[in-house]
């Protein structure tokens, strides 16, 4: 898309090495630091701290321990006699004297910086030593004319090995020089109300933070930039949404004879939340616009039956339905759950997975193409390969958090106005839902089916693990099944695996053949095999890395052990815990942690003891850890923000959403003056994939 990028942005998309004084070496380091090679990446790199050098007293008034900027005259140098002695430079003003102290000094450098007789500006921490005033290694030294720039508030940036704060500041100062003035894209009323500066001024302030509240996320400059980022995010989602909705949907009649059949075949009544969600789905399916709905519900909240009832709507109208799962195991489990229900209604279905090859596959494809198969259950991958349907009316996508908006688009692009229902088992806070699924309408299953027993959750310090093991051994002897999840090692699947294998060996030594191991590197077939054995009770303990399938259902499993629970996000623990407590037996979740544990970490884990409501847990996790850490983000499919901090800017997000939706309703092609001004914004925050929707059908 870069060909359509407005020329005015070009300077921001040049590599940092185009900046004066940034060579290939620092260029590499800056790229590592900011996550990108462009000048723009550097501009988004925010200071994490500030040093206030505005205090500029006379020497006699400079208190020890405080950072001060002093205007002094260099009187005399006292070079060190021996290597381990300091080099001293005696300076004075009209109130007194101060020693500037240097260890391992380069004589030439000091003489050049501080020639005797010169008036200089030095800034650093003032100390008292043997009743004398001194400053060890001043942070800044300059000529008198540098006073303004030294006696200022200095931003301190997150760094990487090999880069100094000074080098980063210098590069950023250069980058700021190349920032173009852009036409304002904000709504003038909002900008005035919030007292926000222009974009360019905001950027300058971000890197020259005022002393008092310069790092406050709600400072007008930072808030403006955060809003810009959220607006870009919401605008892109609104464009996707508009594009999807514009394709004519279909009008379905809902709630006919098939629904009646299924409802009377179910051994339970729908919960209030299920009924509400179904009503929302019904009204979408009746409407001529396409349905784009997210069904968000905790593990065990009963999404499957809602999906089944929605699929029957399509069948009832002579169309087909599809249910796509992220993995083969899950596809098969969905098929298992749906089978009795679909049979009760006399609806035909096929299961299509990667295992179906050759003639068998051909036959299945034929049934799908002819419409003989009314419902197709399979993996996402298969649908991406382009299965031909006679008439696909509704696609249900069981997403489980592995998909971003673009993949979602790919999956649904083929259908002719096909309604889309995405199911996700991970409760995420409302604010995050908006950033990731802002293109969709949301239904929440926030109420569990009746009769579920709470899971007894306990925090176990690692040194009490042996006692826990003895308890587990007794339970296993009595036939219990146990999930054992191994530590999450940051960023490394290999290390996850090593930890899991080690645990597997230890448990196998104790429990013999009753232990199995699943991890991400097994072939699907091997994984299925272990899962099947666990499900059938041939093995009692399943050691797993976090790849453990979130939708897997083994009601006989009643113990969940999570090692190094402190390393997991609460939402992840919650998901894992949802694997147990599915049968009639009392269930346990043991959260093993290594000591010492910080107070916050303890507080976090304690929340798991207090509630099983996934939405509450997710909100708390956001509050305590921030959006970046939630769900172990990488695979979560949630967008990452550079300037917006969702814990602090949630209010802005809601405004951005409304702003974007209204805007796209009124000006879907971004042709108005404001619309034109907004185009660069999409590029600035790399949401420009959405631009394609301005032109294509
Ligand atoms: P999810 O997919 O949301 O994790 P499921 O749809 O698998 O949850 O439902 C979990 C279990 O609860 C299933 O055995 C399902 O049949 C059952 N169930 C669903 N809805 C209800 C209800 N309203 N009352 C009782 N049981 C229910
Ligand atoms: Mg399910």
- Reported as a single tens digit per residue, the pLDDT across 54-81 is 999 999 999 999 999 999 999 999 999 8
Which pLDDT score is estimated for 551? 54
- Nearest ligand 1 atom to alpha carbon 297: 3
Distance between CA atoms of residues 411 and 166, nearest Å: 48
Closest CA to ligand 1's atom 9 = 302
Q: Which atom of ligand 1 is nearest to the CA of 445?
A: 3
Q: State in Å: Cα 302 to ligand 1 middle.
A: 3
| Residue 279 predicted with pLDDT over 60 | yes
**What are 545's two structure tokens?**
């890395």
Instruction: Take atom 24 of ligand 1 and give the residue whose Cα is closest.
Output: 449
Looking at all shown ligands, the one closest to residue 298's CA atom is 1
Handedness of CA 334, 336, 337, 343 (dihedral sign): positive
In angstroms, what is the span from residue 479 Cα to ligand 2's centroid? 25
265, 448, 449, 579, best to mutate for ligand 1 pocket (most atoms within 8 Å of CB): 449
pLDDT of res. 412: 61
Question: Under the phi-then-psi rule, with left for phi > 0, alpha for psi from -120 to 50, and beta for the rest, what region is 512?
Answer: left
| Mean pLDDT, rounded, of the chain | 88
Nearest to 326 by CA among 416, 402, 271: 402
Give the tens place of pLDDT for each residue, 102-158. Answer: 998 888 999 999 999 999 999 999 999 888 899 999 999 999 999 998 999 999 999
286 close to 253: Cβ distance less than 8 angstroms: yes
Q: Please tell me the number of the ligand nearest to residue 333's CA.
A: 2
Query: Which has more confidence, 390 or 692?
Result: 390
CA 509, CA 513: separation in Å to the nearest integer? Answer: 9
- For ligand 1, residues with CB inside 6 Å are 268, 270-271, 274, 297, 299-305, 425, 449
Residue 593 Cα distances to 461, 487, 557, 573, angstroms: 5, 10, 22, 13
> Which atom of ligand 1 is least distant from the CA of 553?
7
- Report the atom number in ligand 1 closest to the C-alpha of 306: 6
- Give me 688's structure tokens: 């420009």
Q: Averaged over 232-260, what is the pLDDT?
A: 87
> In this model, does residue 546 exceed pLDDT 70?
no
Whole-model pTM: value is 0.75
Q: Domains along the chain?
A: 7-50+158-216 (no CATH), 54-151 (2.40.50.140), 270-445 (3.40.50.300), 456-611 (3.40.50.300)
Looking at per-residue confidence, does 500 or 281 come out higher?
281
**For residue 450, which ligand has an atom nearest its CA?**
1
Question: From the CA of 449, which ligand is nearest?
Answer: 1
Q: What is the pLDDT of residues 404-445, one digit of tens each?
A: 666 666 656 655 678 999 998 877 788 778 888 888 899 999
- CA 279 – ligand 1 centroid, Å: 18
Residue 613 tokens read as 């409501």
Which ligand does the CA of 278 lie closest to?
A: 1
The Å distance, Cα 443 to ligand 1 centre, comes to 16
Strand ranges in 514-593 using DSSP code E only, listed in sequence order: 515-518, 541-544, 557-562, 587-593
Of 272, 305, 339, 448, the residue with max ligand 1 atoms within 8 A of its CB, to mutate for a pocket test, comes to: 305
Give me ligand 2 centre to Cα 303, in Å: 6
Please tell me the residue having the least CA distance from ligand 1 atom 6.
302
pLDDT tens-digit profile of 184-215? 999 999 999 999 999 999 999 999 998 777 78
Q: Which residues of 146-170 are buried (b: 16+ CB within 10 A; e: fewer)?
A: ebeebbbbbbebeeeeebebebbbb
Between the CA of 306 and the centroid of ligand 1 the distance, in Å, is 9
Residue 161's contacts (CB-CB under 8 Å, 6 or more residues apart) are none
Which atom number of ligand 1 is nearest to the Cα of residue 271?
A: 23
For residues 388 and 571, the model is more confident at 388
The confidence score (pLDDT) of residue 39 equals 96
- Give the whole-number percent of the chain exceeding pLDDT 90: 60
**Ligand 1: nearest atom to the Cα of 299:** 4
Q: Does the pLDDT value for residue 282 go beyond 90?
A: yes
- Closest-CA residue, ligand 1 atom 18, reads 302
Query: Please, which pLDDT band fits residue 3 given cuts at 50, 70 and 90?
Result: very low
- The pLDDT of residue 302 is 92
Tell me if 298 sits within 8 A of 577, measured CB to CB: no
Residue nearest to atom 25 of ligand 1 (CA): 449
Lowest-confidence pick of 84-93, 284-293, 337-346, 630-639:
630-639
User: Sign of the C-alpha dihedral, residues 142, 148, 150, 156?
Assistant: negative
Tell whether the model's pLDDT for residue 689 goes beyond 80: no
Strand 419-424, strand 292-297: pairing = parallel
- Within 8 A by CB and 6+ apart from 290, the residues are 244, 245, 247, 248, 249, 417, 418, 419, 420
479: left (phi over 0), alpha (psi -120 to 50) or beta: left
> In this structure, what token pair is assigned to residue 69?
């900027």
pLDDT value at 547 more than 70: no
Q: Which ligand lies nearest to the CA atom of residue 425 in the structure? A: 1
Q: What share of the chain is helix, strand, coil (3-state, %, to 5)?
A: 45, 20, 35
How does residue 457 score in pLDDT terms, banded at 50, 70 and 90?
A: very high
**Residue 266 alpha carbon, nearest atom of ligand 1:** 16
* pLDDT at 396 > cutoff 90: yes
Residue ID of nearest Cα to ligand 1 atom 1:
300
Q: In the predicted model, is pLDDT for residue 479 greater than 50?
A: yes
Q: Mean per-residue pLDDT for 255-267?
A: 94
Per-residue pLDDT at 696 exceeds 50? no
Q: Pick the atom of ligand 1 nearest to 298's CA.
A: 3
């Amino acid at each position: 898309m870069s060909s359509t990028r407005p020329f005015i942005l070009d300077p921001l998309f040049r590599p940092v090495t185009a900046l004066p004084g940034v060579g290939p070496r620092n260029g590499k380091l800056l790229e590592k630091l900011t996550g990108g090679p462009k000048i723009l990446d550097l501009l988004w790199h925010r200071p994490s701290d500030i040093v206030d050098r505005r205090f500029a007293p006379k020497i006699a008034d400079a208190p020890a321990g405080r950072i001060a900027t002093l205007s002094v005259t260099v009187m005399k140098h006292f070079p060190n006699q021996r290597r381990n002695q300091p080099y001293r430079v005696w300076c004075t003003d009209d109130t007194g004297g101060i020693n500037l102290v240097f260890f391992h000094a380069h004589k030439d450098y000091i003489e050049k910086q501080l020639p005797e007789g010169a008036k200089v500006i030095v800034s650093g921490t003032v100390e008292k030593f043997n009743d004398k005033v001194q400053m060890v290694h001043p942070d800044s030294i300059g000529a008198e004319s540098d006073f303004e720039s030294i006696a200022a508030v200095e931003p301190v940036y997150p760094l990487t090995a090999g880069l100094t704060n000074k080098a980063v500041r210098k590069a950023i100062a250069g980058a700021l020089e190349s920032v173009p003035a852009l036409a304002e894209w904000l709504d003038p009323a909002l900008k005035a109300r919030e007292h926000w500066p222009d974009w360019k001024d905001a950027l300058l302030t971000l890197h020259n933070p005022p002393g008092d509240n310069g790092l406050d996320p709600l400072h007008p400059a930072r808030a403006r930039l955060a809003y810009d980022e959220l607006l870009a995010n919401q605008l892109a989602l609104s464009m996707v949404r508009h594009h999807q909705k514009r394709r004519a949907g279909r009008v379905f009649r809902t709630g006919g004879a098939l629904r009646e059949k299924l409802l009377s075949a179910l051994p339970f009544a729908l919960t209030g939340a299920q009924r509400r969600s179904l009503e929302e789905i019904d009204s979408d399916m009746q409407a001529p616009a396409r349905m784009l709905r997210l069904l968000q519900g905790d593990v065990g909240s009963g999404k499957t039956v809602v999906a089944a009832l929605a699929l029957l709507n399509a069948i009832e109208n002579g169309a087909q339905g599809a249910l796509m799962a992220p993995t083969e195991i899950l596809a098969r489990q969905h098929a298992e759950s749906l089978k009795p229900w679909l049979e009760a209604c006399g609806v035909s279905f096929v299961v299509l997975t990667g295992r179906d090859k050759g003639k068998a596959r051909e036959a299945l494809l034929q049934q799908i193409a002819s419409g003989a198969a009314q419902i197709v259950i399979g993996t996402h991958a298969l649908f991406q390969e382009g299965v031909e349907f006679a008439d696909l009316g509704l696609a249900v996508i069981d997403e489980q958090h592995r998909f971003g908006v673009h993949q979602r688009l790919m999956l649904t692009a083929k259908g002719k106005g096909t309604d889309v229902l995405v199911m996700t088992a991970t409760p995420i806070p409302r604010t995050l839902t908006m950033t990731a699924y802002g293109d969709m309408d949301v239904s929440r299953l926030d109420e569990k089916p009746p009769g579920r027993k709470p899971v007894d959750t306990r925090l176990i310090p690692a040194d009490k693990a042996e006692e826990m093991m003895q308890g587990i051994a007794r339970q296993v002897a009595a036939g219990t099944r146990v999930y054992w999840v191994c530590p999450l090692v940051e960023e490394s699947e290999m290390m996850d695996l090593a930890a899991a294998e080690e645990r597997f060996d230890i448990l196998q030594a104790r429990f013999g053949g009753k232990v199995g191991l699943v991890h991400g590197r097994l072939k699907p077939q091997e994984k299925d095999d272990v899962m099947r054995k666990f499900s059938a009770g041939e093995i009692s303990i399943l050691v797993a890395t976090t790849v453990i399938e979130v939708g897997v259902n083994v009601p006989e499993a009643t113990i969940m052990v999570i090692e190094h629970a402190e390393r997991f996000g609460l939402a992840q623990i919650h998901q894992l815990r949802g694997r147990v407590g599915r049968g009639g037996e009392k269930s346990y979740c043991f959260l093993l942690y290594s000591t010492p544990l910080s107070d916050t970490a303890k507080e976090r884990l304690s929340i798991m003891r207090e509630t099983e409501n996934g939405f509450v847990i997710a909100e708390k996790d956001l509050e305590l850890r921030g959006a970046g850490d939630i769900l172990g983000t990488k695979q979560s499919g949630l967008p990452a923000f550079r300037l917006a901090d969702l814990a602090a800017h949630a209010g802005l997000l809601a405004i951005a959403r409304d702003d974007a939706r209204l805007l796209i309703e009124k000006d879907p092609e971004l042709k108005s003056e404001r619309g034109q001004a907004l185009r660069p914004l999409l590029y600035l925050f790399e949401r420009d994939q959405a631009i394609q929707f301005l032109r294509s059908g």
